[in-house]
């Protein structure tokens, strides 16, 4: 592997689905699914959830519930909470709105979570040396941690929407690239990283409006119960928390530095 520092951004599921075939052992990966899986994970952990188990599909989630009846099931398909007609009779406890993951709902609990794209992206990165869960909500804290670790290869993964890229994820990737600054541009600074950074800079003055204009944002704004998720997920730097996916594919909050 090259000794040059590298920074790259992947935009679509077609990109991240090839990651299990790559050697990522010396890479730090950051996964963004701003609307809404990674935002919901950050909020859940900030509100006291013990751990989150991202799974790829509904059958895997149900199998974990059978093995561990105490876990909460969380997830969505087509933006709305998974219901019994999709599972053979089991309603999920939570959907994928970050506003659902209140202290009353999740404190002290472990969650099993499946979403259309975000949990798939996290699982695809499981071979990386480090995997961070990213959102606009915790961007500053995340950038500070990444700047402090001795990693030479940073790969930012945008979860996308179904099989397409997602504007909100590319914006968050660009915000992270912009925040990390010149040190990361001295090595291999990919065109993908440059595209994401330049897009973010064009929208930085009103991230909520940019998220609202995205395909996912427009879909959420059309659903009265989910309308407020767009503004919620646009609240940059509102949570001081680092979330990592461990080697066993469980997502946890890192303890605060003393």
Look at residue 19 and tell me if it is in a domain. yes
The pLDDT tens digits for 15-63 are: 999 999 999 999 999 999 999 999 999 999 999 999 999 998 999 999 9
Look at residue 97 and tell me if it is in a domain. yes
- H or E element at residue 7: strand 6-10
Average pLDDT over residues 186-199: 94
pLDDT at 215 over 70: yes
Look at residue 1 and tell me if it is in a domain. no
pLDDT value of residue 1: 44
pLDDT at 255 over 90: no
The sign of the dihedral angle between the CA atoms of 105, 106, 110, 114 is positive
pLDDT value of residue 97: 98
pLDDT at 171 over 80: yes
Average pLDDT over residues 157-171: 96
Look at residue 258 and tell me if it is in a domain. no
DSSP code at position 94: B
Look at residue 255 and tell me if it is in a domain. no
Look at residue 240 and tell me if it is in a domain. yes
Long-range contacts: 187-193, Cβ < 8 Å, 24+? 187/4, 187/5, 187/6, 187/7, 187/152, 188/2, 188/4, 188/5, 188/6, 188/7, 188/8, 189/7, 190/6, 190/7, 190/8, 190/9, 192/8, 192/9, 192/10, 192/11, 193/7, 193/8, 193/9, 193/156
Q: Classify strands 130-134 and 188-189 as parallel, antiparallel or unpaired.
A: unpaired
pLDDT value of residue 141: 97
Look at residue 243 and tell me if it is in a domain. yes
Q: How many domains does the chain have?
A: 1
Average pLDDT over residues 212-224: 97
Share of the chain above pLDDT 70, in %: 98
The pLDDT tens digits for 98-107 are: 999 999 999 9
pLDDT at 240 over 50: yes
Mean of the per-residue pLDDT values of the chain: 95
CATH number assigned to the domain comprising residue 100: 3.90.1560.10
Look at residue 253 and tell me if it is in a domain. no
The pLDDT tens digits for 70-89 are: 999 999 998 899 999 999 99
Question: Domain of 210?
Answer: 6-248
């Amino acid at each position: 592997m090259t000794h040059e520092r590298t920074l790259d951004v992947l935009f679509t599921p077609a990109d991240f689905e090839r990651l299990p075939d790559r050697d990522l052992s010396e890479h730090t990966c950051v996964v963004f699914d701003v609307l809404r899986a990674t935002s919901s994970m950050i909020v859940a952990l900030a509100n006291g959830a013990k751990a989150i188990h991202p799974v790829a599909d509904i059958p895997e989630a149900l199998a974990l519930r059978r093995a561990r009846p105490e876990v909460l099931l969380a997830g969505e398909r087509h933006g709305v909470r998974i219901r019994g007609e999709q599972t053979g009779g089991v309603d999920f406890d939570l959907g994928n709105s970050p506003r659902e993951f209140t202290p009353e709902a999740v404190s002290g609990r472990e969650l099993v979570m499946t979403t259309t794209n975000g949990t798939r992206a996290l699982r695809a990165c499981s071979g990386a040396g480090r995997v961070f869960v990213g959102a606009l909500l915790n961007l500053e804290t995340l950038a500070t941690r990444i700047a402090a670790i001795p990693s030479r290869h940073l790969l930012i993964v945008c979860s996308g929407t179904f099989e397409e890229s997602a504007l909100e994820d590319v914006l968050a990737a660009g915000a992270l690239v912009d925040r990390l600054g010149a040190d990361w541009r001295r090595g291999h600074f990919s065109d993908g990283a440059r595209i994401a950074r330049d897009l973010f800079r064009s929208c930085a003055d009103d991230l909520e409006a940019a998220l609202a204009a995205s395909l996912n944002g427009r879909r959420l704004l059309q659903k009265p119960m989910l309308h407020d998720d767009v503004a919620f997920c646009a609240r940059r730097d509102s949570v001081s928390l680092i979330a990592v996916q461990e080697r066993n594919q469980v997502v946890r909050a890192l303890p605060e530095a003393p």
